[in-house]
Structure 1
Amino acid sequence: MLVDDAALVRDGIARLLTAGGFDVVDQRADALGLVGAVRAAAPDVVVMDVRMPPTYTTEGLQAAVELKAAVPDVGVLMLSQHVESRHAIDLLTGSGAGVGYLLKERISRPAELGEAVRRIAAGGTAVDPEVVAAVLGTRRAPDPLQRLTAREHDVLALVAEGLSNDAIAARLVVTARTVEAHMANILIKLGLATEAGTHRRVLAVLAYLRVRASDR
């Protein structure tokens, strides 16, 4: 489902997603009645703008938070024209799995958009690298992440972007086994070693973003 007040933007995203093999089950110009519409159309993922009518501030974000609370199994991918890390963190840390936040410039990169939608549909996260960078620059109080080494911080930041272990290994020019070892250490240091399944990666990302946001 696509939610954006700009018809041309909606149409452009719909064309890209359709070309990428997705079914666009509904398009909406505002977030009014979104929960009911989602329950009726039953999409796997809702792609929506942060700024929506009537004030064009945070209506989209607020609707997304309400949607995740009411229908937690649906994925939500927020799109924004600018880096708004506060908005991203509000959604990511309050909604659990199946959420993402990308800059609208990613729309011009169909492969990235499609990959993000698939990841979110599978219960993962997709966070724009520029948003991660903005959060990284936030001055913060002492936190559990201080137990991580510099390289473990690097790995977790790339996990937050949604990269796989193989992709992280290629980015950092190390082996996938090395990344796995770093990830294991990260999970232990964050107290997530006993959590079941791949959901631990999502929990680690949310812990990472939540702490980064603590002073904002």
Structure 2
Amino acid sequence: MRILIAEDNALLAQGLSAMLEALGNEVLATAEDAGSFVTAALTHRPDVAVVDVRLPPTFTDEGIRAALHARELLPGLPVLVLSQYVEDTYARELIADGTGVGYLLKDRVARVDDFLDALHRVAAGGTALDPEVVRQLLVTRGDPLARLTGREREVLAMMAQGYGNSEIAARLVVTERAVHKHVGNVFLKFGLPPEDSGDRRVLAVLTYLGAPQRAASASPPARFPRRGSRGAG
């Protein structure tokens, strides 16, 4: 894969580059701020970009906004966002932007197999969310989830992470037919179209979970406010 990295922590950027290149990928460039990232994306047109949520100069939301801007200029640009903490609103905005997106906590990078799996999934146009991000989305979504059974919640969480029916079946040690039934029940209870085809169903569920009101509403997901304090990405 041809990869672009946007990370102001030189040690982390170098470590990521070395790891990815050792595995046969090409790191096209590393950017230290939002502006240079967008410029590099337009110049190199990478297969996937890995972007820190918080970049100079304010270390608030420059990274994710740069990623969204780059996707406007290069529609469909796959982006995997890294963050030190779970920021629900960041995840929601990214989810609403479409397929080929991912949001991982930085400690997930240390789990090389998980990180590479997410990177490949996003590069292929899929969706990859950190399990902790999914957990918080499920918690904050509120009442609609109360209609789901425990098993349906498990299936929903795995769907949100980007897993297909066969992968969910293997992890839950049930039949794929049973998973298909649970997926159908989730869509029915959420009032969503019974679409059961790969990342489109994942995106539909994630959009529903990330929206401030029902997915069927005409209102778009809320834009998160800018923060003024400096913090870790």
Shift of residue 34 of structure 1?
3.3
Distance 1:200 1:136, change over 3 A: closer
Shift of residue 16 of structure 1?
1.9
Q: Could you tell me which amino acid in structure 1 is paired with residue 7 of structure 2?
A: D
Q: Could you tell me which amino acid in structure 1 is paired with residue 98 of structure 2?
A: G
Q: Could you tell me which amino acid in structure 1 is paired with residue 136 of structure 2?
A: A
Shift of residue 133 of structure 1?
1.4
Identity %: 42
Pairing 1:21–2:41 present: no
Distance 1:96 1:40, change over 3 A: same
Q: Aligned partners of 2:34, 2:140: CA distance in 1, in Å?
A: 31
SS at match of 1:168: helix
Determine the structure 2 residue equivalent to 1:78: 81
Shift of residue 207 of structure 1?
2.1
Structure 1: tracts of 5 or more residues without a match: none
SS at match of 2:82: strand
Q: Aligned partners of 1:146, 1:191: CA distance in 2, in Å?
A: 16
Determine the structure 1 residue equivalent to 2:204: 203
Provide TM-score, normalisation by structure 2: 0.80
Pairing 1:135–2:137 present: yes
Structure 2: tracts of 5 or more residues without a match: 214-220, 225-233
Among 5, 8, 13, the residue aligned to 2:8: 5
Contact 2:95-2:101 at 8 Å conserved across structures: yes
Distance 1:198 1:30, change over 3 A: closer
SS at match of 2:35: coil
Contact 2:54-2:64 at 8 Å conserved across structures: yes
Q: How does 1:7-156 map to 2 (within 5 A)?
A: 7-93=10-96, 95-138=97-140, 140=142, 143=144, 148-156=148-156
Shift of residue 28 of structure 1?
0.8
C-alpha deviations, 1:54-92, integer Å up to 9, x for none? Answer: 111111111122222222211111101112222111221
Q: Aligned partners of 1:58, 1:198: CA distance in 2, in Å?
A: 26
Determine the structure 1 residue equivalent to 2:228: none
SS at match of 1:137: helix
Shift of residue 114 of structure 1?
1.0
Provide TM-score, normalisation by structure 1: 0.86
Contact 2:141-2:210 at 8 Å conserved across structures: no
Q: Aligned partners of 1:138, 1:200: CA distance in 2, in Å?
A: 20
Contact 1:148-1:186 at 8 Å conserved across structures: yes
Q: Aligned partners of 1:125, 1:103: CA distance in 2, in Å?
A: 15
C-alpha deviations, 1:112-162, integer Å up to 9, x for none? Answer: 11111111111111111111112222263x55x665444223211111112
Contact 1:76-1:98 at 8 Å conserved across structures: yes
Q: Which has the higher contact order (CA 8 A, sep 6+)?
A: 2
**How many correspondences in the alignment?**
212
C-alpha deviations, 1:1-46, integer Å up to 9, x for none? Answer: 0000111111111122223332211211111143332122010111
RMSD: 2.5
SS at match of 2:103: strand
Q: How does 1:159-174 map to 2 (within 5 A)?
A: 159-174=159-174
Q: Aligned partners of 1:207, 1:123: CA distance in 2, in Å?
A: 19
Q: Aligned partners of 1:19, 1:184: CA distance in 2, in Å?
A: 42
